[in-house]
Structure 1
């Protein structure tokens, strides 16, 4: 065909960049657009339970594949998605948010349409989204529409931030040249200014040369902006002790001999805290220094020799180099650094010590036991998703196998995020490798916010592990404030009936409450194979929590009380 519809053009472009599952819900302003999904081989319309869950799913999908797309309808649909979109913006996740909007003529006549505010303003929701988007595109002309679509996709991928794309209902069936698809989308990042880049490299090499006790600290944006390989090469080239933040888990191979553990300021293990804070040079890759990621900003470096490598700038001590991107800098640094570190004698790194004493099979499960033992069941290539709460803090104690993808929303921290994100992650994982396991840890309270998305997993025959940590309510909130308060209670559910209720046929529902029951599962070869959707309810004491969460809650409560 010499011409195709604009709607099909959009989906052909998404398919070209391996976005193969589209999340969202139908609404009358996007129905004609949704028709075009079925014209493109290899695409799947997820059909979510609600727009918020769809946004969470798009976030989880993008963290596995690097880009995702969600489609909502004008007004009521797009606003329902914005909490999830804001989380993607805060945490550097590339999502294309496509909104079906009323026709150009309806907008021009300022018709009093449904889903509007009744004031003739058709741009108000676009303006809302502009504050949580890297860029926006409101299509008004068919001639420029293809290039605007290309710009939107490229921007979402390169900057790893949401992009808002509004498509009027009357334009999706208009025709554009199919020859435009022959030119591949350029998803490469632009070159740095050579002079500025060289200045950065020279300054870093001088700091490395003068350092006696340097460390590498890796954070979330190393994963989000795809510099995990460059970071690994830097670790291999220098042999510096390497640590991650809670949000950085999965960015570094935790089986690497130079990996020392997770640094969370005052909440770190004492040996990790000492190793990082006594360094005379910190090479920080992809930092996102939020309160929960830093132990309420309790970093206590004893040096000012800090180099921050970011996706769009580099900071060396007090000097900032705007526009110098870390991917190219790290590639160049890895090549230049070997002679500078030739005489470096590797400092020892802290060794992980399992704190659990042997427990009998009848011993009730605790958070401490679970998270320190979990690493023995995980396997290379797993995708591990943890909910904001006990799981996100507990997983810090778990040593990941190689090539594990860690997903948590530590900065934005929207309760219930992990269930939607698990749907997106398992859809993406299936497209990458059907043997790749997706493992969700979610509290019983968080689950109640977004449980409907389990039905979408079942609809598509997806096979995640859903570990429900049943501790009778919102434990993280109880720890911060209101241990006995009714607002931290929830209605008790029969979790063993959930998969059946949502129509699962190939499933397994289990309940474990003792060390012996968990060990029996972990040692079962059949359980290790992701051939069915599974819900495993883990019974835990109400106020039981990882030690670092207890301390974080105390810090948070203190901060909340400050004038």
Structure 2
């Protein structure tokens, strides 16, 4: 009775699902990924009235990857699954989003609160009356879990989850039971937008940290800046760019930070990844007497197998949660404010220039009479073909490492899953990224994936066709898992895959006449002809373009070779120690 009285007191009652989807619209979501299931069907009816579109993926794993790709372009994404069977299929993708700091809102249609309370033996459950098992699993890969079991708390829990998702740049989990969907909340709350600003640093602490940073910066003879993924994820790019441009210091990116910095800046020096670095980069970075590391994630693939040789004694780390100057940590001092003040106060610095990366083809590749497309030849050539504002997605494998050798034009967005490294990610992410690009008026989304990886999530080409998306897809046909071969099992059958007729797949997925153009390139000349084909390259081309790019099974970028060698060595040492 008390609940009914409280509902009657609401001046502008709206349904919980309407409130949820309107809040998603407010923060920039325009498309909802996911799959229908009987526990979320009524909630799905609220998507269109809220000004949102339903994507409709082929499976929940792909939907999770797609939401991840969408969020990396748009800033936040949402996925709807059903209880148990649906949400668990998405867990791998959401774990990747958690690992790589990608803000995805996961909404799960739940059985009714009465069914949960009575422990009913329902389908999609474990049959033991435990309705919390799955949310507990997702709690490990979410920065907030909001179980909407009480309509009087629902609006507050929704607002909190969305805010946490964006401020912490990680997935959140929202349960939506079937009997809560149409319960009432106060619609007047929507008149107050969510506060998505970061809490300011304590001014005294911030100023102290700024003074410490400036002291070491002015004392340094040849400092450099190194930008990594968390500068992107934690919305510090504006402050980072101000520091780069005002200081004139040589700036480098890590593999995960690729695309964070405009690569046509005169002080841009290339990709630093220890032994896997671009030409001249390792020497310049490792000889620096001070490294300003912004948003660093020092994972194995991001450092080419932990081959960084930069002392903490020469490093200042800027993070979302703290600043670390050499061995002194200042917790609770967020990088954004510190970077702004350092840029404003630094004055003249000692500058020793770094290398200038380019898209020149290596001499031995120019001299080679072989028509075979090689990794060393292809990736610099790609850099000559790319346009400003392109979105480039590279799969974990040869593409992910090859792109280090591609110098981007202005404002290119690079998407790859360097830390989580779930093969198949890139094709799903391409669907989400291409959809976000379409919403934002960005003309070209380009995917590079290996044949082995593509086979895991190929169905998302179907979703692209359904949503009338027109990305350019390159499937590298090199007969299997090349990255795995370089780690272990050079010619073993477990690294082989069935050879598909890849370019026949769009037709099998129901492409309409004129909706797709397919190509197969086997030689360097054929690649160059394709790159020079204006119709193929055009951002205004409304066709999905699908390319079989043939490379040798035993060829890989130099950075992949060195990283794989390091990984294999570490695995062997671990085995020997046991």
TM-score tier after normalising by the smaller chain length = over 0.9
Question: Following TM superposition, by how much is the alpha carbon of 1:503 offset from its aligned partner in structure 2, in angstroms?
Answer: 1.1
- Residue 558 (structure 2) aligns with: 547
TM (normalized to structure 2)? 0.94
- Residue 209 (structure 2) aligns with: 200
Instruction: Give the direction of change, closer, same or farther, for the CA distance of 1:119–1:527 in structure 2 (3 Å limit).
Output: same
Report the 3-state secondary structure (helix = DSSP H, G, I; strand = E; otherwise coil) of the residue aligned with 2:218. helix
- Residue 387 (structure 1) aligns with: 395
Report the 3-state secondary structure (helix = DSSP H, G, I; strand = E; otherwise coil) of the residue aligned with 1:166. strand
- Residue 84 (structure 2) aligns with: 75
Pick one of 340, 343, 347 that aligns with 1:334: 343
- Residue 226 (structure 1) aligns with: 235
TM (normalized to structure 1)? 0.97
- Residue 428 (structure 2) aligns with: 420
- Residue 43 (structure 2) aligns with: 33
Report the 3-state secondary structure (helix = DSSP H, G, I; strand = E; otherwise coil) of the residue aligned with 2:535. helix
Q: Deviations over 1:367-391 (max 9, x none)?
A: 1111011001100000000000000
Pick one of 309, 323, 327 that aligns with 1:318: 327
CA contact (8 A) 1:280 1:302 kept: no
- Residue 450 (structure 1) aligns with: 457
- Residue 344 (structure 1) aligns with: 350
CA contact (8 A) 2:223 2:350 kept: no
CA contact (8 A) 2:305 2:564 kept: no
- Residue 380 (structure 2) aligns with: 372
Pick one of 264, 285, 288 that aligns with 1:255: 264
Report the 3-state secondary structure (helix = DSSP H, G, I; strand = E; otherwise coil) of the residue aligned with 1:153. helix
CA contact (8 A) 1:57 1:421 kept: yes
Q: Deviations over 1:171-217 (max 9, x none)?
A: 00112222111111111111111222111101100001100100000
Q: Deviations over 1:78-122 (max 9, x none)?
A: 111000000000000001111111111001101111111111111
Report the 3-state secondary structure (helix = DSSP H, G, I; strand = E; otherwise coil) of the residue aligned with 2:499. coil
Pick one of 399, 402, 408 that aligns with 1:400: 408
Q: Which aligned runs of 4 or more in structure 1 are off by greater than 4 angstroms?
A: 359-362
Q: Kindly report which structure 2 residues correspond to 1:518-533, keeping only aligned pairs within 5 A, or say none.
A: 518-530=527-539, 531=541, 532-533=543-544
Q: Deviations over 1:468-525 (max 9, x none)?
A: 0000111111111111111111111001201111111211000001111111111121
Report the 3-state secondary structure (helix = DSSP H, G, I; strand = E; otherwise coil) of the residue aligned with 2:226. strand
1:410 aligns with 2:421: no
Instruction: Give the direction of change, closer, same or farther, for the CA distance of 1:351–1:6 in structure 2 (3 Å limit).
Output: closer
Counterpart-to-counterpart distance in 2, 1:499 and 1:359: 38
- Residue 295 (structure 1) aligns with: 304
CA contact (8 A) 1:475 1:542 kept: yes
Question: Following TM superposition, by how much is the alpha carbon of 1:2 offset from its aligned partner in structure 2, in angstroms?
Answer: 3.1
Instruction: Give the direction of change, closer, same or farther, for the CA distance of 1:140–1:303 in structure 2 (3 Å limit).
Output: closer
1:243 aligns with 2:252: yes
- Residue 7 (structure 2) aligns with: none
- Residue 492 (structure 1) aligns with: 499
CA contact (8 A) 2:274 2:304 kept: yes
Report the 3-state secondary structure (helix = DSSP H, G, I; strand = E; otherwise coil) of the residue aligned with 1:441. strand
Counterpart-to-counterpart distance in 2, 1:140 and 1:131: 20
Counterpart-to-counterpart distance in 1, 2:361 and 2:480: 28
After superposing the two structures, state which structure 1 stretch, 542-551 or 348-357, moved more. Answer: 348-357
CA contact (8 A) 1:25 1:50 kept: yes
Instruction: Give ranges in structure 1 of 5+ residues lacking alignment.
Output: none
Instruction: Give the direction of change, closer, same or farther, for the CA distance of 1:144–1:302 in structure 2 (3 Å limit).
Output: closer
Question: Following TM superposition, by how much is the alpha carbon of 1:359 offset from its aligned partner in structure 2, in angstroms?
Answer: 6.3
Instruction: Give the direction of change, closer, same or farther, for the CA distance of 1:114–1:326 in structure 2 (3 Å limit).
Output: same
Instruction: Give ranges in structure 2 of 5+ residues lacking alignment.
Output: 1-10
Q: Deviations over 1:292-330 (max 9, x none)?
A: 001211111257121101111111111111121111221
Question: Following TM superposition, by how much is the alpha carbon of 1:140 offset from its aligned partner in structure 2, in angstroms?
Answer: 1.4
Q: Deviations over 1:523-557 (max 9, x none)?
A: 12111113210111101111111111111111111
- Residue 6 (structure 2) aligns with: none
CA contact (8 A) 2:17 2:181 kept: yes
Report how many residues are paired: 558
Q: Kindly report which structure 2 residues correspond to 1:265-276, keeping only aligned pairs within 5 A, or say none.
A: 265-269=274-278, 271-276=280-285
CA contact (8 A) 2:312 2:326 kept: no
1:482 aligns with 2:461: no
After superposing the two structures, state which structure 1 stretch, 326-335 or 272-281, moved more. Answer: 326-335
Q: Kindly report which structure 2 residues correspond to 1:27-176, keeping only aligned pairs within 5 A, or say none.
A: 27-41=37-51, 43-176=52-185
